[in-house]
């Protein structure tokens, strides 16, 4: 079972398959820091680049890199994506082309739903 040490020095043992998303900044605060979602009931901040964390995972091929509305990257675990859809009118800024539901989070993305679904299906997911 892999282990990581958080930015504040706590060690967490986790199952790599439970990682649902990784960013290079905190989605809530915008703080520049590698953040891992899905392993501890909230955001886990790390003192390492996102690419280094992703390389350490046994299932690194399960992740697709996408672009958030602010231009920052997000890596989603394709098997954790529960749905992909167009945003509702007024739900997100006009730059939002799709919304992915991942682990209880709705994430607005700058990619159209058809392209998102194609990327997920290319990994062997069934959408």
87 is written with which tokens? 């945003």
Sign of CA dihedral 37, 28, 51, 118: positive
H-run or E-run covering 93: none
Please check whether residue 127 lies inside any domain of the structure. Answer: no
Structural contact between residues 113 and 98, judged by C-beta atoms closer than 8 angstroms? yes
Number of domains making up the chain? 1
Q: Is the pTM of this model over 0.85?
A: yes
Kindly state the average pLDDT of the residues 6-10. Answer: 94
The length of the chain is 127
Please check whether residue 41 lies inside any domain of the structure. Answer: yes
pLDDT tens per residue, range 57-102: 987 789 999 999 999 999 999 999 999 999 999 999 999 999 999 9
Domain interval for residue 39: 3-122
Residue 11: the pLDDT is 95
């Amino acid at each position: 079972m892999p282990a990581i040490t958080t930015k504040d020095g706590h060690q967490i043992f986790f199952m790599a398959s439970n990682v649902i998303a990784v960013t290079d900044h905190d989605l809530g605060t915008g703080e520049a820091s590698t953040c891992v979602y899905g392993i501890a009931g909230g955001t886990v901040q790390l003192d390492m680049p996102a690419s280094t964390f992703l390389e350490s995972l046994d299932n690194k091929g399960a992740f697709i890199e996408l672009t958030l509305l602010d231009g920052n990257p997000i890596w989603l675990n394709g098997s954790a994506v529960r749905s992909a859809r167009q945003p509702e009118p007024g739900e997100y800024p006009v730059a939002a082309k799709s919304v992915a539901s991942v682990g209880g989070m709705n994430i607005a993305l700058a990619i159209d739903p058809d392209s998102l679904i194609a990327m997920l299906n290319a990994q062997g997911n069934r959408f």
